[in-house]
Every structure is written in C-alpha cells, then in structure tokens.
C-alpha cells in the first residue's frame, strides 16, 4: 500500500462490523514485521504473548514478562502508523489483583503507546476487565483455547465442541461484553460455536481457528510466513516459506565468505589514489586494491 492510511480506531472497527466487512488482524512483535503489516494495510496488530514461543523460543507463553512485552510493544507502535495495536497481557500481569491489572494495562498504553489490551478468560477475570475499562482503557476479551491456562485445559485442545462447552463460552462472552470489553477474540473452536456466540453479542467478535463466520481473522505472523517450526495448528495457512528463503540466503552468504567472493568491489569503499598511496607508504608491495 503506498497511500497514507488513516489511523484505525475503535470507531473504525465498529463501522467495519456494521458494514459487515471483515477486519484483518495479525500478530507482530518487532519493528520490521510491524512496518510490513501496517504497510500491507492490516486493521489490527496484536503484540501477542505468543512471542514467548515464536521469538524467544520457549515451549509455552508463560515465561514471558511484562517488561519484555513492553519492549516488544514499543517497537511495534513505532512502526504501526495506521493499525490499531493491542498489547497482550502476559501471565501474572493481571491474575493477582485488579490493581495489578490496571497498572500493567496502563503500562501498555502509557509506556508502549498501544491502543488497547487483550486478556484471557471469561467470568473469572470479570473484575479485572471492569477495572481496566474503568481506567479508560480499551479491552479485548479472549476465550476458547487460552494458552495461559493450558494445564487446566489439558493441552492445545479445540474448545466449544459440546452444547455444554458452547453454553459456558457464551455465558463468558456475554459477561465480558457486559463488563465493558470492546471486542472479543475466539480461539480454536468449531465455526458453528463461534458463529452462534457472535450472533448473540453486539461487539465485534474475531477468530483465530474459529471458522469464517466472525467479524475478522487473526493469524500469527510467524505461522503464515513459515517461520515457526515447533508445531502447525490445523487452522494455519502458509502464505510463503520465508524460513526456507532466509536459510538459503544465509547459506549463500556463508559460501561466499568462505569462497572469498564476499565482499566484492561493489561492497568496498573507494579512496582517492593519493590517499591510498599515503596510507600504503612508499615501497609497499602487498597492496589491497
Ligand atoms: O499471543 C497471541 O498471539 C495470542 C493469539 C494466539 C490469540 O494470544
């Protein structure tokens, strides 16, 4: 996209829903990827705690800290001129108390320049959601497969596959909306479950692995570009194999260094002949050109 896009606001996101247009949502964790996503015209960027796995190499999202999230979020907001940026509240940044929730959500806004925050959970985090909203901060709820309580869920399992599980998700979703959440993200559930939940809410409902009958789609940028190898969920589509491309480039670089063809004349700085001569001195024979 070459033309300057307007800043996406909550109003923009509500208008997209009202006009039945799908919102485009993607994770980004650093300046270069956020710049590319913003220039590609995405509507929302999530600085997800998934960066614990995609960028830091942990096997779950749990070890990542609030300070680390802030550092990544700062890099993203420096790049994202148009997209609405959500900071993802990491494990233990809101679980202990409403006060912790407000302080840490506030850090995403005040220190990192995010537009809103996302946090996992339904009725069990309602007081946190209310507290953050009362502090004037935009909150996105997150239900379904919520990786911060992977232990309780019994691993990476699809949610909402029974009437009872659907009903529990719906009750959570309605409670989040009533508590002031401005939007909701549903992760890893059958399309019909997500569609029925969306139907009964008025806030935008986005999905990641939740089918096509929602108000927009989130993907993890490393998944769709072929940069994450640990595992590939069913809902991931690869749009390119950047990992293969980058590895081939690095192998070529290594071969050229070892073969003495990099750097070539084009990558070397020039110098005026007389200065060259002065540096080399009279009578020198071993002369790099
Ligand atoms: O951290 C993240 O990227 C997320 C998505 C997987 C929903 O929370």
pLDDT tens digits, 105-122: 999 999 999 999 999 999
Fold of 10-244: TIM Barrel (3.20.20)
pLDDT at 288 over 70: no
Q: What is the pLDDT of residue 19?
A: 98
- State in Å: Cα 85 to ligand 1 middle: 13
How far, in Å, CA of 45 to CA of 134, rounded? 23
**pLDDT at residue 276 greater than cutoff 60:** yes
pLDDT of residue 41: 98
Name the nearest CA neighbour of 24 among 188, 208, 200, 193: 208
Percent of the chain predicted with pLDDT > 90: 92
pTM value is: 0.95
Centroid of ligand 1 to alpha carbon of 97 (angstroms): 22
Query: CA angle, corner 165, sides to 164 and 169, nearest 5?
Result: 120
Look at residue 251 and tell me whether its pLDDT is greater than 70: yes
Q: Does the pLDDT of residue 133 top 90, yes or no?
A: yes
Q: What span, in angstroms and rounded, lies between the C-alpha atoms of 190 and 172?
A: 17
DSSP string, 155-181: SS-----SHHHHHHHHHHHHHHHHHT-
Token duo for residue 149: 């309580």
- Which residue's CA is the nearest one to ligand 1's atom 1? 48
Q: What is the pLDDT of residues 40-51, one digit of tens each?
A: 999 999 999 999
Q: Which atom of ligand 1 is nearest to the CA of 187?
A: 7
Q: Please report which confidence band the pLDDT of residue 283 belongs to, taking 50, 70 and 90 as the band edges.
A: low
Ligand 1 contacts (CB < 6 A) are 27, 46, 48-50, 88, 185, 187, 208, 218, 220
Kindly report whether the peptide bond that precedes residue 263 is cis, defined as omega within 30 degrees of 0. yes
Counting ligand 1 atoms within 8 A of each CB, the residue from 218, 219, 222 with the most, and so the one to mutate, is 218
Residue whose structure tokens are 């497969």 = 145
pLDDT of residue 151: 87
- Which residues are designated catalytic? 187
User: Per-residue pLDDT averaged across 131-150, rounded?
Assistant: 96
Asked whether 118 and 88 are in contact (CB, 8 A), the reply is yes
For 70-80, write each residue's pLDDT tens digit: 999 999 999 99
How far is it, in rounded angstroms, from Cα 101 to Cα 92? 9
Q: What pLDDT digit, counting tens, does each position of 154-168 carry?
A: 888 999 999 999 999
- Boundaries of every domain in the chain: 10-244
At 4 the pLDDT is 80
pLDDT value of position 169: 98
Residues 187-211 have pLDDT tens digits of 999 999 999 999 999 999 999 999 9
- Tell me what the pLDDT averaged over the chain comes to: 96
Taking Cα atoms as reference points, which of 34, 36, 117 lies closest to residue 78? 34
Q: What is the DSSP string of the chain?
A: --SPPPPP-HHHHHHHHHTTPPEEEEE--SHHHHHHHHHTT-SEEEE-TTHHHHTT--SSSTT--HHHHHHHHHHHHHH-SSSEEEEE--TTSSSS-HHHHHHHHHHHHHTT--SEEEEEBSGGGHHHHHHHHHTT-EEEEEEES-GGGHHHHTSS-----SHHHHHHHHHHHHHHHHHT-SEEEEES--HHHHHHHHHT-SS-EEEESS-SSSSEEEE-HHHHTT---S---TT---S--HHHHHHHHHHHHHHHHHHT-SS-GGGS----HHHHHHHH-TT------
Residue 282 confidence (pLDDT) above 80: no
Mutate to test the pocket of ligand 1, among 47, 48, 72 (most ligand atoms within 8 A of CB): 48
pLDDT tens-place string over residues 209-245: 999 999 999 999 999 999 998 888 999 999 999 999 9
């Amino acid at each position: 996209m070459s033309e300057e896009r307007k800043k996406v606001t909550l109003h923009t996101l509500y208008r997209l829903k009202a006009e039945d247009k799908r919102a485009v949502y993607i994770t980004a964790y650093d300046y270069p990827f956020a710049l590319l996503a913003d220039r590609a015209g995405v509507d929302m960027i999530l600085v997800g705690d998934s960066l614990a796995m995609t960028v830091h190499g942990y096997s779950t999202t749990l070890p990542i800290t609030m300070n680390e999230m802030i550092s990544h979020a700062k890099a993203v907001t420096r790049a994202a001129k148009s997209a609405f940026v959500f900071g993802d509240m990491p494990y233990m940044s809101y679980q202990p108390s409403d006060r912790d929730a407000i302080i840490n959500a506030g850090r995403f806004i005040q220190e990192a320049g995010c537009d809103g925050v996302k946090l996992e959970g339904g009725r069990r985090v309602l007081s946190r959601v209310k507290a953050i909203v009362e502090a004037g901060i935009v909150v996105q709820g997150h239900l379904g497969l919520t990786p911060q309580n992977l232990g309780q869920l019994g691993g990476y399992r699809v949610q909402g596959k029974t009437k009872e599980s659907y009903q529990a998700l719906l009750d959570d979703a309605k409670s989040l909306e009533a508590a002031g959440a401005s939007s909701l993200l549903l992760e890893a559930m059958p399309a019909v479950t997500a569609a029925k939940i969306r139907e009964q809410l008025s806030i935008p409902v986005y999905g990641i692995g939740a089918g096509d009958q929602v108000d927009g789609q989130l993907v993890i940028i490393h998944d769709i570009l072929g940069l994450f190898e640990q595992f590939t969920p069913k809902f991931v589509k690869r749009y390119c194999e950047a990992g293969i491309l980058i590895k081939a480039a690095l192998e070529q670089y290594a071969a050229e260094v070892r073969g003495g063809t990099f750097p070539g004349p084009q990558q070397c700085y020039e110098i005026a002949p007389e200065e060259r001569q002065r540096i080399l001195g009279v009578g020198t024979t071993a002369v790099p050109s």
